[in-house]
Amino acid sequence: MNTPRIPNPLSSPDSPKGDGRSLLRVKTIATRVTPEELAEVETAAEAAGKTVAEWLRELALKAARERPADPTELLLAEVSALRYMLLNLFHATAQANAEGKHLLPDSVVKIRDQANLRKLADARKLLAEFLSQEGPDEGKP
- Is 109 domain-assigned? yes
CB of 55 closer than 8 Å to CB of 41:
yes
53, pLDDT greater than 90: yes
116 and 82 in one domain?
yes
Domains of the chain: total: 2
Q: If you ran DSSP here, which 8-state letter would residue 28 be given?
A: -
Which of 23, 51, 66 marks a domain boundary?
66
Distance CA 3, CA 18 (A): 19
89, pLDDT greater than 50: yes
Which of 18, 48, 66 marks a domain boundary?
66
33 and 5 in one domain?
yes
125 and 108 in one domain?
yes
Could you tell me the residue range of the domain that residue 104 belongs to? 71-132
Look up the pTM and report it.
Answer: 0.48
10, pLDDT greater than 50: no
- Is 139 domain-assigned? no
